[in-house]
A = this chain, B = another copy of it.
Amino acid sequence: MKKAPQILDELGFRKTEIRIKVLEHLQKVEKAVSQPELEKKFNKLADRVTLYRILSAFEEKGIIHKIMDVHGVARYAMCNEKHCTELEHHDEHVHFNCTECGDVVCLDSVKVPDIKLPKSFSLSRLNLNIEGTCDNCQK
């Protein structure tokens, strides 16, 4: 996995402390994280608005993707380097929302079967949100 500063460099971003830390965090946790979570984690290191703008900027460059969790809160997760480019995203995987710990993880291993829509409907994007108990919270 590429190091965060290098990624920022290649994308034309400045290597500021907060941007490096946010990106490293996203790489490490392998979960979909929200702005409020980042705000708690990086308390006082950056303004709320800064975090929102960092996430938007990263998403525009295609290194993270945005999903709505079951509470209607935006979450962002690293894109799978194999599948995503700046122009085209392939995030048609399962997003698992744990009702115990609230974590949201991308289950890349689970593939979404083909959905057959009525002819008059066209599909552009797809997000499968599953609620349940994650592996960490199973007793």
Contact = CB atoms under 8 A, between A and B. Distances in A.
B115 A94 contact: yes
Contacts of A70: 68, 125, 127
A12 interface: no
This chain: copies in complex? 2
Interface residues of A, number: 36
A32 B127 CA distance: 17
A86 to B, nearest CB: 19
Interface of A: 68-74, 94, 96, 99, 107, 109-110, 112-113, 115-118, 120-135, 138
20 contacts: A68-B68, A68-B70, A70-B127, A72-B72, A72-B74, A109-B118, A110-B117, A117-B132, A118-B135, A120-B138, A121-B132, A121-B133, A121-B135, A121-B138, A125-B130, A126-B129, A127-B128, A127-B130, A127-B131, A128-B128
B130 A123 contact: yes
B117 A122 contact: no
A19 B81 CA distance: 50
B129 A129 contact: yes
